[in-house]
Structure 1
């Protein structure tokens, strides 16, 4: 079993014990911002040209004081689009993983929400509860398609490449959220906990919240690009974390999920989290571990996202 100090791929960390702000909109935007800072200048221009094909580009860049900032804000805000399309005003279809179109990659003609693209359940049971067969389409299958299609040499249309880039900005972050990578089956929850969505916890703030949502909320709630930039660059923000270069070079989505699943099983479902659905009070040790893991994983996601885009669009 790995110790937390061994799995955090971070050195020269400033203020790990301080409260983190992060994977809802704020977290995805912060990851995108840090990745953007590490894109090569010519790559930033190619990225912006692709993002302009998304119908939300004007909204993403609204209010920016100049063109350079508009490009940055558009990139940062684009990281939330894969969640935004779940809103009713987008009129995207809530489809299922067993639909005929589940694994397609056709660009903006696809008006399905594809909620199952956001995770891969590495199923496990601490008590021998039977496990189901994994889904055939998930975050790994789709990221592999998108990564392959992004280079201009892939032969994919710019429409598809734009669509894939916007999804990648979001999914790379999701792949590094441990509870997007593992579902636990117990005697009390024999059909699985849906990545921690069926366990309830009570953090130090006193509210009762689903375990999954507790992890998702580590960087705070909804945010603007300006706010995400400020928070990431603030003292203790993820911009100040230095990622181990060897870890940053890993660009295989399955490896990311394997890492996240190990974190989920070792720390996400650790005591005092119950094996049932009863709400439990979290300990200081548990909450400290979650904050540290969240920050480390976000910084790692940003480094890997930057590498993927630089390699594809150089």
Structure 2
């Protein structure tokens, strides 16, 4: 609970802080459901690659005997967020010459890899040029490197997989695919995917709209806790993804879907276009939870399908 409380404080007092889609619980539940869907051959290949991640020993520490690989895969889903807090990892900018480079286990945080901000104006506010490096551009590079017949080293494949497990989840969080501009928020970045709008949830908490969506599945959790929650009655394991949509493994399509959902659901009334807090209604929160569950289930199915193709 301490880390969850810290996350809420960061969301409230530090607008420049990088976004954390779904927080730990959401990312780990998506990874868990995806891992269960993989064939033994794809699992074995994923397991072998993740063993090359420098944090692997920490991931499996305390794992029940025989479940080390599962725990590693589920824990890997939070690794791109975890490195943001490592003292030997450094902030960098989307305009840097290294922004698009895949450097196996280098020490850059690449915070801008976590989202694809399609720009949107609520009132014809002029839009700047979008960034050319984002979650979609980088995920496409990683997809190209992961197959055994690519020119990538095993370490680069491991690095790509460690990011991919996370980024698939990111791209299914609607507010990781949009930046809304308005007369009240006209500057570069706009509302930064809901980070600049405040809402009041049913529990009385005032927080950024983006943080509200990130926290729908909960905050900090152990792997055991995430697996337990996913397997509970009504948990993510019981949500059936649309079979036809699950076959779509194009990151650009995922981002477009999330962009559309952001406009229709995440920004739905009573959310405002300025920084004044909006009190969320029961209807809004119900729709948000249902949308998040469907998106997370779809992310899990697509992650599994994508890895089946890439890890043959």
TM value normalised by structure 2 = 0.92
1:63 paired residue number: 62
Aligned to 1:37: 36
Q: 2:94 aligns with which of 89, 93, 97?
A: 97
Whole-Å separation in 2 of the counterparts to 1:183 and 1:283: 23
SS of 1:124's equivalent in the other structure is: strand
How much has 1:126 moved relative to structure 2? 1.5
Q: Which residue of 2 aligns with 1:185?
A: 181
CA distance in 1, matches of 2:223, 2:307: 20
Shift of 1:139: 0.3
**Structure 1 residue aligned with 2:278:** 280
Cα distance in 1, alignment partners of residues 128 and 311 from structure 2: 39
Q: Aligned to 1:183, what secondary structure does the other structure show?
A: strand
Q: Is residue 82 from structure 1 mapped to residue 80 from structure 2 by the alignment?
A: yes
Where does the alignment leave 5 or more consecutive residues of structure 2 unmatched? 1-20
Q: Relative contact order, CA 8 A, sep 6+: which one is greater?
A: 1
What's 1:17 paired with? none
2-side partners of 1:106 and 1:206: how far apart?
A: 43
Question: How many residues are treated as equivalent by the alignment?
Answer: 290
Deviations 1:19-75 (A, max 9, x none): xxx910010000000000011101111111100101110110111121x30100000
Distance 2:63 2:233 in 1: 24
Could you state the TM-score of these two structures normalised by the residue count of structure 1?
0.91
Counterpart Cα distance in 2 of 1:229 and 1:310: 22
The residue that corresponds to 1:3 in the other structure is: none
The answer as to 2:241 corresponding to 1:219 is no
Q: Residue 207 of structure 2 is aligned with which of 202, 205, 209? A: 209
Partner of residue 157, structure 1 = 153
Partner SS for 2:149: helix
Structure 1 runs of 4+ with >2 Å offset: none
The alpha carbon displacement at 1:88 in A equals 3.7
Q: Distance in 2 between matches of 1:240 and 1:207?
A: 29
Look up the match of 1:4. none
Question: In angstroms, what is the RMSD of aligned CA positions?
Answer: 0.9
CA distance in 2, matches of 1:234, 1:34: 13
Consecutive unaligned residues of structure 1, counting only runs of 5 or more, are 1-21
Per-residue deviation, 1:145: 0.4
- Residue 265 of structure 2 corresponds to which residue in structure 1? 267
In 2, the alpha carbon distance for the partners of 1:308 and 1:107 equals 21
For residue 140 of structure 2, the aligned residue among 140, 144, 154 is 144
Distance 2:45 2:191 in 1: 41
